[in-house]
C-alpha cells in the first residue's frame, strides 16, 4: 500500500504566527484568549498546559482574570478590541493579515455605497469579526439564501468571502447574484486566502491518484471541512479525524494508495504522527499478506 502526502497541507503562516505569539514565555499563566486561537485540539491542549485561559468571546468579558488578552488568528471587529481596551486590558492581536484584508476590503466597499454581502457561515468567528463593525449587512451561504437579497431591496452589492470558502462555490453564487433582476451592480473581491486555496487544489489533485484519503484537522475547522467536501466532490472515500488515535485499520483493507491531507490549523508534528502510523499499518498489512501467501 502506497502512502502519499498532499503537496500543500497543514499549518499556514497566519496560524503559525498566532501559535508562536501565544506560546511565548511571557504569556505563561498570564493570558486569556478571546475564543479558540486556532481550531485544533492539540494546539488548544498545549495552550492550556501553558496556563493560557480561554473565554468564548467578548460577551464573557467579566470572566477574564488576566490583564493580557489576545485576539485569535480569525480576527475580530474593531469595536471588540476597543471594548477590551476601554476595560483596561492589554490587547495582543494575533489576527492573520489575510483575514484582516477582508475587513479592510468590505469597509472600502461600504464607503463607496455598496451594500456589504459576505459569502460564508454567519455563526463562524471569522464572519462575525468581518461584519462586527458594519451597521447593516447580509451573510449568505448558498443558493437558498439568494432570495434574501431581493427582500433587502439593495441594488448595489459589495461581495467578499469568508477566507476558507471554495472558490468554485463563491464564483457560482456571485454569478447568480449578478444575474438577478433586482441587482444593478456588483463589486466582488475574491478574499479566499491563498494557503486555503493551495490545500484545496492539492487535495483535488491527489484525489485522482488514491483510493482513500485521510483528512486530519479540528472537527470545528472550516477549512478542514472544505477539504472533506473536495473529496466528496471527487467521489473518493475519505475520513476526517483529529488525531492518529482515531484511525480505523479496517479503512485500509484492499486499498492500494492512501492520501493524507490536513487543514491549515494542523501542526506538523500531528501530520508526521499520522503519516508514521499509516506507514506502520501498511507494513503490517504487507507482512500479513506475505505470511498468508507463503
Residues annotated as catalytic are 126
Contact yes or no for 161/118 (Cβ under 8 A)? yes
Return the ∠ at Cα 185 (arms to 127 and 175), rounded to 5°: 65
| Spatial separation of the C-alpha atoms in residues 64 and 146, rounded to whole Å | 40
182, with CB counted inside 10 A (0-12, 13-18, 19+), is middle
Residues 6+ apart with CB under 8 A from 11: 19, 264, 265, 266, 267, 268
DSSP 114: P
Give the 3-state secondary structure of residue 141.
Answer: coil
Taking only Cα atoms into account, the Rg of the chain, rounded to an integer number of angstroms, comes to 22
- Encode 117-145: b = buried (16+ Cβ within 10 Å), e = exposed: bbbbbeebbbbbbbbbbbeebbbbbeeee
Contact yes or no for 254/230 (Cβ under 8 A)? no
| Spatial separation of the C-alpha atoms in residues 220 and 44, rounded to whole Å | 12
| Spatial separation of the C-alpha atoms in residues 252 and 261, rounded to whole Å | 16
Amino acid at each position: 500500500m502506497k502512502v502519499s502526502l498532499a503537496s500543500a497541507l497543514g499549518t499556514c503562516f497566519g496560524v503559525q504566527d498566532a501559535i508562536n505569539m501565544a506560546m511565548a514565555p511571557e504569556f505563561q499563566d498570564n493570558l486569556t484568549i478571546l475564543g479558540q486561537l486556532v481550531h485544533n485540539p492539540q494546539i488548544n491542549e498545549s495552550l492550556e498546559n501553558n496556563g493560557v485561559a480561554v473565554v468564548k468571546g467578548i460577551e464573557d468579558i467579566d470572566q477574564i482574570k488576566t490583564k493580557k488578552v489576545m485576539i485569535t488568528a480569525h480576527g475580530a471587529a474593531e469595536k471588540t478590541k476597543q471594548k477590551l481596551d476601554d476595560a483596561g486590558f492589554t490587547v495582543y492581536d494575533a489576527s492573520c493579515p489575510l483575514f484582516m484584508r477582508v475587513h479592510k476590503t468590505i469597509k472600502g466597499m461600504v464607503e463607496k455605497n455598496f451594500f456589504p454581502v459576505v459569502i460564508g457561515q454567519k455563526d463562524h468567528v471569522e464572519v462575525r469579526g468581518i461584519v462586527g463593525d458594519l451597521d447593516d449587512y447580509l451573510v449568505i451561504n448558498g443558493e437558498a439564501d439568494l432570495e434574501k437579497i431581493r427582500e433587502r431591496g439593495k441594488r448595489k452589492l459589495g461581495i467578499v468571502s469568508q477566507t476558507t470558502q471554495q472558490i468554485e462555490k463563491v464564483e457560482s453564487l456571485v454569478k447568480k447574484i449578478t444575474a438577478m433582476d433586482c441587482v444593478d451592480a456588483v463589486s466582488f473581491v475574491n478574499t479566499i486566502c491563498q494557503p486555503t486555496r493551495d490545500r484545496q487544489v492539492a487535495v483535488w489533485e491527489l484525489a485522482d491518484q488514491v483510493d482513500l484519503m485521510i483528512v486530519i484537522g479540528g472537527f470545528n475547522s472550516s477549512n478542514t471541512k472544505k477539504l472533506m467536501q473536495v473529496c466528496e466532490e471527487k467521489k473518493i472515500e475519505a475520513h476526517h479525524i483529529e488525531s492518529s488515535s482515531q484511525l480505523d485499520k479496517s479503512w485500509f483493507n484492499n486499498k492500494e494508495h492512501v492520501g493524507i491531507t490536513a487543514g491549515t490549523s494542523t501542526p506538523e508534528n500531528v501530520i508526521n504522527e499520522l503519516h508514521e502510523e499509516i506507514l506502520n499499518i501498511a507494513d503490517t498489512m504487507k507482512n500479513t499478506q506475505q505470511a498468508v501467501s507463503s
